[in-house]
């Protein structure tokens, strides 16, 4: 990399809408289970808890999301002593196709801000999840050409950020991570010595919520992506 400042930029819910599609499928699943009389009083709580717990087994993305819904459906059938029905398996499985291929909607300010940032900084797109799925979303977004490098990782933690620093020869003092998740984008990047910018998303997934780590450089909080122009 050259000696310009480097900005690592998150993808889902930072560059484009993501979580709202999963939330929509959760609500549809809960409504379906309640209609079928499958543990209707606690189905949503079970699903949301299982979704977070299963990350360490299934990872992120539409496939793991669908596996979790199917798992919860089968468990609910067992509790209610009901047979597993193929028609419901097919309905639930459809969520995987929809969440894996939703139309990309860039968030406010992204389209106008990226070319400005590219003119003054090195840009690296750093996103986590299922590689094929994430690369598909990046391609559909139409913004990949603004980034010198694109990296999809299974998780974002301090060791991942340190490996990015090493692999691209970055200086942490001149490197910033920009994203919507305190847990994945802010805290581990701070521990790795980077600067951080939080751009909150209105429906951040519960798994990504966390208190911002106090040590290290102060995290800048912006209302939307266009605010980056004033910083960088």
Q: pTM of this prediction?
A: 0.91
Q: Please give the pLDDT value at position 3.
A: 62
Q: What is the helix (H) or strand (E) element at residue 19, kind and residue range? A: helix 19-35
Cα–Cα distance for residue pair 48/55, rounded to 1 Å: 11
Domains of the chain: residue spans and CATH: 6-17+104-231 (3.40.50.1000), 19-100 (1.10.150.240)
Cα–Cα distance for residue pair 28/30, rounded to 1 Å: 6
Q: What is the mean pLDDT of residues 92-106?
A: 90
How would DSSP label each residue in 93-161? HHHHHHHHSPPP-BPTTHHHHHHHHHHHSEEEEEEES-HHHHHHHHHHHT-GGG-SEEEEES---HHHH
Q: What is the pLDDT of residues 178-192, one digit of tens each?
A: 999 999 999 999 999
Q: What letter does residue 202 receive in the DSSP assignment? A: T
Q: Which residues are CB-neighbours of 172 under 8 A, at least 6 positions away?
A: 165, 192, 193, 194
CB-CB contact of 186 with 212 (8 Å): yes
User: Greatest CA span in the chain, whole angstroms?
Assistant: 64
Q: What is the pLDDT of residues 192-213, one digit of tens each?
A: 999 999 999 876 544 445 678 7
Which whole-number Å values give the CA distances from 135 to 20, 96, 129, 217, in the listed order?
19, 16, 10, 31
Q: What is the pLDDT of residues 37-92, one digit of tens each?
A: 999 999 999 999 999 899 888 888 899 999 999 999 999 999 999 999 999 999 99
């Amino acid at each position: 990399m050259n000696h310009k400042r480097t900005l690592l930029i998150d993808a889902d819910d930072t560059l484009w809408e993501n979580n709202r599609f999963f939330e929509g499928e959760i609500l549809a699943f809960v409504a379906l289970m309640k209609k079928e009389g499958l543990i209707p009083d606690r189905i949503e709580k079970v699903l949301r808890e299982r979704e977070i717990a299963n990350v360490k087994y299934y990872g992120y993305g539409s496939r793991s999301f669908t596996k979790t819904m199917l798992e919860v459906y089968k468990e609910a059938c067992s509790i209610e002593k009901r047979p597993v029905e193929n028609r419901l398996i097919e309905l639930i499985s459809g969520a995987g196709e929809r969440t894996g291929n939703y139309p990309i909607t860039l968030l406010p300010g992204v389209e106008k801000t990226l070319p400005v940032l590219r003119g003054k900084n090195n840009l690296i797109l750093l996103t986590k999840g299922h590689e094929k799925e994430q690369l598909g979303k990046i391609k559909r977004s139409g913004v990949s050409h603004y980034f010198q490098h694109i990296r999809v990782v299974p998780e974002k933690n301090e060791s991942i950020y340190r490996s990015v620093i090493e692999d691209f020869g970055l200086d942490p003092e001149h490197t910033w991570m920009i994203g919507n998740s305190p847990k994945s984008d802010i805290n581990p990047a701070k521990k790795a010595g980077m600067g951080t910018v939080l751009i909150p998303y209105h429906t951040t997934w519960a798994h990504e919520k966390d208190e911002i780590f106090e040590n290290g450089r102060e995290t800048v909080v912006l209302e939307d992506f266009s605010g980056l122009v004033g910083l960088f």
